Chains A and B, each alone.
Chain A
């Protein structure tokens, strides 16, 4: 079960929160300790075309999923294409306060109405010119005399269900049992914490990394901190990977982890507080961190790093930063919104990830990496930059220090896909606690696929 063993390294998140000098938001005191059976994950789920076909038939058409940000389509007529497996949707601002999602196919012969993102006053098919208004109603039948059997009033573009949360546009292609609000449940409530609302933030960076792996492999590499000591060795001196809290709630498809910073990984040789402080400040200061001394006002490296982050954010005029806890300012507070969205919370980072299959090939996927930050300019929203499967994330310098981190992660992904195919055991075995989110994700996936 996802309950930390008493043999697990100290301190726990609870103990760290007890040292906070500011009021701890109730959301940080919540715990999710649902039981998640420890069983190997069937490795075929990652590469079997039949399993991918099942996902394409039962998961993506029937699940709420993030299609874009509201600021991606700020003006009436602006649209983005949201492609998932073999579904393509035109997500369009059809009126000032109305977003619609149309299946991207001409009702005449089926040509995709749009090939890329853009702006439209109407959707006119490049094949014969059949045209729809941006609210989906039919505007023009070409050679109408030859289509007496078509009732123009009924010839509207079919729509997917649309709802918004946190500045995101969600779609459910063929309809969902629940409203988006019901689906998000405790995640939506968590982001009501003062200063956390993602609706108040703006997309300031967007990169799409193509990976030679199944979408679930990429997702799973980003929802546990267990891999930090080995994959991101330079972070181990200031990131308490094995001190991470993982939350899995009964009956909730979404999960959370909180990975503390400002203490060294228990997996490496112990460091002094001053060494941890210097390593923790290194990503921001570079070699200038070598001469830092631990401030006398701080009881720990964690408190000192939190104070530095708080000071910087307050100087930037970021709302609520002055009253935020160290946990909110420097830790990885990260929610996985089933099935494929990962959002950070607080101010530790402004990252958002989305993982999708690339077309219908189970061996390929695309990972969207977004920064959704306070103080962004909604009039200057970047479009996605695609980084190829064999390219470095350093091609996208807007990701700053994360370029190296993501390259380190990417190096594992294609090798995982290869390894899982040649593996001769049933599949991956996972840590009882530290990888419980992954098993819970698979259990929820099975529910969506009707396999339980």
Chain B
């Protein structure tokens, strides 16, 4: 089962449905900051909001800058560069200099391990 790297993408049973191990457990994800991981060759940020875990694209759709330094609060993430804000559950823009939505990925948790559908 690949954890990192696109070379393995499509070569496992999991990839037929797109589900990939993120290689982390819930406890690895900070409460207020995203955790950057590579899943099947893609940069993904894992975010916690209470007991829920969300997976989002690593780039802000406004200016393409990294969201990795963003702050996670109340089910949202704020871009540290120009202040755009997005809802983690569906990526919707909540304010800031863009109306474009953030990329989101489905997440499931199995025995504490985080799986992401990419």
CA distance A77 to B80 in the complex (A): 9
**Which residues of A sit under 8 angstroms from B32, Cβ to Cβ?**
75
B43 contacts chain A at the CB level, 8 A cutoff: no
Chain A residues within an 8 Å CB radius of B97: 115, 126
Count: A-B pairs, CB below 8 Å: 54
Q: Determine the distance from Cα of A104 to Cα of B90 in the docked complex, in whole angstroms.
A: 29
**Bound-complex Cα distance A156 to B43 (A):** 36
| Range, interface on chain B | 20 to 34
Q: State A77–B32 Cα separation when bound (angstroms).
A: 13
For B20-63 the 0/1 string (1 means CB < 8 A from A) is 00000000000110000000000000000010000000000011
* Number of A positions contacting B (CB below 8 A): 21
User: Is the C-beta of B103 less than 8 angstroms from some C-beta in chain A?
Assistant: no
Contacts of B94 in A (CB 8 A): 116
Closest A residue to B78 using CB positions: A118
> Given A77-B71, A126-B63, A379-B31, A119–B78 Cβ distance below 8 Å?
yes
Contact of A114 among B31, B63, B76, B83 (CB under 8 A): B83
CB distance B82 to A126 under 8 Å?
yes
In the complex, what distance in Å separates the CA atom of A81 from the CA atom of B84?
Answer: 13
* Contact indicator A116/B85 (Cβ below 8 Å): yes
- Distance between Cα atoms of A438 and B82 in the complex (Å): 43
A115 to B78, CA, bound (A): 11
The verdict on A383 contacting B73 (CB below 8 Å), with A116-B83, A118-B78, A118-B83 known, is: yes
Give the residues in chain B near A382, CB-CB below 8 Å.
74
Q: Does A124 belong to the interface (CB within 8 Å)?
A: yes
The answer to whether B71 and A115 have CB atoms under 8 Å apart is no
Chain B residues with CB under 8 Å of A118's CB are: 71, 78-79, 83, 85, 96
- Alpha-carbon distance A359/B74, docked complex (angstroms): 26
Q: Are B96 and A119 within 8 A (Cβ)?
A: no
Contacts of B82 in A (CB 8 A): 124-126
Is the pair B31, A119 in contact by a Cβ cutoff of 8 Å? no
State in angstroms the CA–CA spacing of A224 and B60 once bound together.
49
B80 contacts A121, C-beta separation under 8 Å? yes
Chain A proximity of B95: nearest CB distance (Å): 3
A117 touches B (CB below 8 Å):
yes
Decide yes or no whether A78 CB sits under 8 A from chain B: yes
A120 B95 Cβ-Cβ under 8 A = no
CA–CA, A116 and B85, complex, Å: 8
Using CB atoms, name the residue of chain A closest to B50: A380
B80 to chain A, nearest CB (A): 5
Q: List 20 A-B contacts (CB under 8 A).
A: A75-B71, A78-B71, A114-B83, A115-B83, A115-B96, A117-B85, A117-B95, A118-B96, A119-B80, A120-B80, A120-B83, A121-B80, A124-B81, A125-B82, A126-B62, A126-B63, A126-B83, A126-B97, A381-B74, A383-B73
Known: A115-B83, A121-B69, A126-B97. 18 other contacts (CB 8 A): A75-B32, A77-B80, A113-B83, A114-B83, A114-B96, A115-B84, A115-B97, A116-B83, A117-B78, A118-B85, A118-B96, A120-B78, A121-B80, A124-B81, A124-B82, A380-B50, A383-B73, A383-B76
